[in-house]
Amino acid sequence: MGAAAIHYSLLTLGALFVAVPILLHLTMRRKPKQIVFPALRFVKQRRQTNQTQLRVRHWLLLLLRCLAILLFVLLLALANLTVPAAFLGNWLLLGVLSFGAIVALVMLAASLIDRSGRLLIGALAGLSILLLGSIAGVGAWTFAGGGAGRIGDKEAPVAAVLVVDTSPRMLYRRDNQTRLDKAREIAGWLLRRLPTDSQVIVSDARSGEPIETVNRTAAEAEIERLEPTAVSAPLVEKITKAIRYAQDAPFQQREVYLFTDLTVAGWNGAASAGLQQQLDTASDVLFYVIDVGVEQPLDFALGDLNLSQQTLTKNGALVIETEVSVLGASGARTIQLHVEDPAPELPRDVDGRRELPPSRLRAEELVELVDGASQRVRFPPLQLPEGVHFGQVRILGDDGLAVDDQRYFTVEARQAWPVLLASPPGVETRFFTEAITPFQFRETDRARFDLRAIEQNNLSNETLGEYAAVCLIDPLPLTPGQWEQLTDYVEQGGKLAIFLGRNATAESFNQPDAQRLLAGPLLPIPWREPSRKLLLAPKDYQHPALAPLRPVATTVPWGELPVFRHWVLVSLAPESSAILSFSNGKPAIVERTVGRGRVVTMTTPISDPLWRRGEPRPWNEIPTAENNWPYLVVINELMLSLVQSGAWPLNYYAGQSAVLTNEPDRDPETYTLFAPGEAPQAIKAYDGKVQIGYTETLGAYRLKGSLNGPISRGFSVNLRAAETNLQRLPPDALTSYLGADRYQLAKETGDIERRQSLAREDPQLYPYFLLALAVILALEQLMANRFYSSKSGTQVAA
């Protein structure tokens, strides 16, 4: 069994080895070579090419038909779709780039499927990347402006800022309608045309912030409540704020409307305000200028009043001047001067009516005026009794603007200012006394000052607080007690004038007690100029002591007032300023503030008589020259400005804070204020002053108090004459201020409608969709006819 099994196993294995050469034979046998007939190979390749072309044509036709259907749907669904005009080109460019990108991507896909050449695939890939990158760039730039580049509905809410000029010029009346009434009318019409849910901000000419309303009804109510204001913020400032508010609004459509009369006065400072640059920056804000003015206004106007004095002594002469101008006509007008009689017990309100002191016509002038010109009017000198006087200057006759036909003023006539004059024995004081209190003025009770002369050594016996000013004429060295007495007087509000001369010594006047009042330390030796070449030489005429000489500055005979000697100030003390200098540049008259008072120092005397043989030579010929009228003017105005220094004016412009000095020994602590058109109110004096913080209403502000009897005080408030100038802007002025294409000018509602159709209504995308649909349908028909023509069908079958 074992041997038989081995035998059969070897037999089977041998049989298997017999199969090896058979397998090798079959494997190594040469296979027959397939050879394709060339004609059949060409037909096959042409067939594959035709199939690829057909697929591409089918894809292109499919793409065109899909785009046609998509655009047709957009036409139906987005009929009111708009886009901001500034970005219309961007959106059209995006559409063209998107269509090109789709075509390029389709062709790239077809090339990849058909395994076209690398050059073609690379070119299509590069073109696709370029187009997609361009789409991203243009899209980012379009949307960078926020809502400016977004598509929206033409009936979407609007952010509208309405700036209404409420300056006094808007009270000009034509056809029984003021310019402000016309602005209200157009603004109301405009508000009713705004889309629902629009945001409206209303701003007038006041300096405060504009009013943001919740709806159109509230905005219309605000427009109706607008009233003219005497205190107007610059129109440029209001425009700047309006543009900023419009830019911050959350709406896509932003509009600013300016209602104004387009007069020169309203656009002061516009040339340098940079409005054009601001509007260029706010490119998405539409700016409308609504002109409610009159092309040829008719207006007779009074200029600012010029009062010779606001505080004068009783029976003193008050001279009032003004200018009268006309615009739009020529003719004669009567100018009247009215002044109320003092009545301390008035005003008072009785049964809702205010009783005022009687007003009397004091003077009138007839002037002939030519269109566009002005004429100066000077009323005769007016003498007034003691008390506070309220008055008016008026133009008789009617014109379009009444607010500039009258001006108000307030003056106070009082007792002569008491002045103490102290000098050493032998010093001549008549040059000073006759200069400020001429004999004929003293005899007629018209002198401004009530002089009392004493010797210098009696100064300590005087109660200085009783005097409005103290004058030291060529003083000798004073004692420490006298310097202390004078310092206390000045620090409490007193006025001191020191005229240094030959009696002064540098050693004494440089002591600390004296330097608390003097304008500065003195050089030990006075300046000497033996020739007649040293003169008074004003650097300007701004100080009140020199202001009357300003009109004749070139003809003042300073050369006839030579100076031979004067003291030299080493340096000026703190809070000091030179009023008048010598021709050598050294100070001649210096003013210094000390505490609540003021000190004037003159470094050459006004007491030296004319030189006579055997007598000391004078230090100057200022008071004794034959033609010495400049000295008389300067010394009078110097003393007047000195006693009035620290006093507040009695006449103000609208918007200014009014302050009146209140002296406890002669003025009450509390008053009743009667402001024009307002109910009486109580006010109280603080720190020696009565202050009314804000004056907007024009007219006379009257204060009535009581201290040992009724006391009447007050002041007046006027408009600046420039505020009522109705001269129109030149035709090209707005363009230079705002830019040629950055505003729309309109006068009537019809003009606004036309301007809005051009500027406010953004272009609709509907016509562009319709044009694109027509182009795509035409391309689809053209390609379909070409692809499925009989010739093409033959080629495909082949």
Structure tokens that stand for 520 in this block: 């500065």
The domain spans of the chain are 42-151+766-797, 155-297+732-759, 414-611+618-644, 648-718
- Give the separation between CA 516 and CA 508, rounded to whole angstroms: 13
Task: List, in sequence order, every beta strand (DSSP E) within 540-642.
Answer: 565-566, 576-581, 587-594, 597-602
Q: What is the pLDDT of residue 22?
A: 66
Q: What is the pLDDT of residue 798?
A: 36
Using only C-alpha atoms, the chain has a radius of gyration, in whole angstroms, of 48
The CATH number of 648-718, from 2.60.40, 3.30.70, 3.40.720, 1.10.10, is 2.60.40
Is 414-611+618-644 the same fold as 155-297+732-759? yes
The CATH number of 155-297+732-759, from 3.90.76.10, 3.40.50.410, 1.10.1200.10, 3.30.930.10, is 3.40.50.410
Q: What is the pLDDT of residue 673?
A: 96
Nearest residue to 147 via CA among 83, 207, 234: 83
153 CB-side CA count, 13 A: 8
- Give the separation between CA 240 and CA 620, rounded to whole angstroms: 60
Q: What is the pLDDT of residue 104?
A: 72
Q: Which residues contact 384 (CB under 8 A, 6 or more apart)?
A: 312, 314, 315, 316, 318, 339, 411, 413
Q: For each successive 10 residues of the chain (798 residues), what is the average pLDDT?
A: 53 60 63 64 67 68 73 62 54 67 69 68 78 73 50 67 94 94 94 86 81 77 91 88 88 89 87 78 89 94 94 87 95 96 89 91 95 94 92 94 96 93 94 92 88 94 94 96 96 95 95 95 93 92 92 93 95 92 96 94 93 80 94 95 86 94 87 94 91 91 92 95 93 87 87 66 61 72 67 43
The CA-to-CA distance between both ends of the chain, in Å, stands at 77
Cis peptide before 347 (omega within 30 of 0): yes
pTM over 0.95: no
How many CB atoms lie under 10 A from the CB of residue 233? 17
Structure tokens that stand for 639 in this block: 């003393």
Q: What is the CATH number of domain 414-611+618-644?
A: 3.40.50.880
